[in-house]
Amino acid sequence: MVLRLTLVLALTIGLVGAVEVPPEKPQENGVGSPALVLEPRNGKTTLKHPTIANNSISLFCGSKKNTEDSTYSEIDRVRWSKFPNPDSTNVLEAKEVTEFEATAPAPNNTVSLNINKPPATAVGKYRCDLWKDNVFMATGNLMVYMRPVFIQEENMRLDVIEGSPFELNGGGYTTVEGGNLSLTCRALGNPEPKYTWEMNGKPIKNGKKFSIRNHVMNISGVSEVDRSEYKCIATNSFTKDGREQTFTSTVTYNVRIKSKLAWLWPLLVIIVTAILLAVIIIACEYRRKKHERNTRDLEPEEDD
């Protein structure tokens, strides 16, 4: 017989005490979906060495027959797992979480998942499953939200602008006139960030010249008019401090265009330099020989 229990999910941030959060939209099995926010230090990270958030977080859950009960139902086992992406609903995709501290059932029959110094990659959708004597009691999802943070790929420049931690400088890109150029700005966040692109502060429309696919923009047949400042804007929205808020992070690139004949100028300089050197050498040699002739003409002839 399956027991229908309400799963009570709660969250704590930093050193703040835990506050019970009732399920927002209870289903038949009493699943709720509370959420908390991860506060990144700035707008960039790497997947190999993720940036550490400013706040530590704890997720905990417990089951009740109904939300009005003052005590939690007994449990003796918990499994914490995380979905590969926040939109996943297939429980088979959720992988057990082992890298963070999971507490055993407390005397009050609640369990916690403590994430101290959480990396940016800790964002996402978590799942809590509870059992008692091998009988499944309840399950529920918990969301960890975060504003967009750009992923610094290998050999990619991303500098945080002083005083604006979520505005980044992506450096300069140089390409030859008539060629193609690709700019990328993949970001990590929950909900999944949406991307827009600007050229000198004006929105870029997806089309033949500028092909935009989320975080990648390709510029075809670049010319001198494409010499500009380009900006990638990553945006997401979620509830924080009791109200819906929108968050943005940006990365700016400076694009320079080289003429197709740019290679010719160094060659011309070399040729002109070689000609000048040849002229100088010939002139010097001419003057030397002339001086030798004049010297011989001035020498007195010997008497017989």
Question: Could you list the pLDDT tens digit for every one of the 304 residues in the chain?
Answer: 333 344 555 443 332 223 233 333 333 333 334 778 999 999 999 988 898 888 889 998 888 877 777 788 899 999 999 999 988 989 899 999 999 999 888 888 889 999 998 999 999 999 999 999 999 988 889 999 999 999 999 888 999 999 999 999 999 999 988 899 999 999 999 999 999 999 999 999 999 999 999 999 999 999 999 999 999 999 999 998 888 999 999 999 999 988 765 556 676 788 888 888 888 888 887 777 776 676 766 666 555 5
Q: Could you tell me if 223 and 186 are in contact, meaning their C-beta atoms sit under 8 angstroms apart? A: no
Q: Is the peptide bond before 191 cis (omega within 30 degrees of 0)?
A: yes
Distance separating alpha carbons of residues 297 and 279, to the nearest angstrom: 27
Question: Looking at residue 24, what is its pLDDT?
Answer: 35
Give me the CATH code for the 152-258 domain, please: 2.60.40.10
Closest CA to 149 of 241, 46, 240: 46
Distance separating alpha carbons of residues 79 and 95, to the nearest angstrom: 10
| Domain extents in the chain | 6-145, 152-258
Q: Could you tell me if 18 and 106 are in contact, meaning their C-beta atoms sit under 8 angstroms apart? A: no
Distances (CA, A) of 219 to 74, 196, 233, 250, 252: 61, 15, 17, 19, 16
Question: Looking at residue 19, what is its pLDDT?
Answer: 28
Q: Could you tell me if 192 and 234 are in contact, meaning their C-beta atoms sit under 8 angstroms apart? A: no
Distance separating alpha carbons of residues 137 and 1, to the nearest angstrom: 11
Long-range contact pairs involving 206-213 (C-beta distance under 8 Å, separation at least 24): none
Question: Looking at residue 296, what is its pLDDT?
Answer: 65
Question: Looking at residue 9, what is its pLDDT?
Answer: 53
> What is the 3 state secondary structure string of the chain?
CCCCCEEEEEEEECCCCCEEECCCCCCCCCCCCCEEECCCCCCEECCCCCCECCCCEEEEEEEECCCCCCCCCCCCEEEEEECCCCCCCCHHHCEECCCCEECCCCCCCCEEEEECCCEHHHCEEEEEEEEECCEEEEEEEEEEEEEEEEECCCCCCCEEECCEEEEEEEEEEEEECCCCEEEECCEEEECCCEEEEEECCEECCCCCCEEEECCEEEECCCCHHHCEEEEEEEEEEEEECCEEEEEEEEEEEEEEEECCCCCHHHHHHHHHHHHHHHHHHHHHHHHHHHHHHHHHHHCCCCCC
Distance separating alpha carbons of residues 11 and 18, to the nearest angstrom: 6
Give me the CATH code for the 6-145 domain, please: 2.60.40.10
pTM beyond 0.85, yes or no? no
Question: Looking at residue 169, what is its pLDDT?
Answer: 97
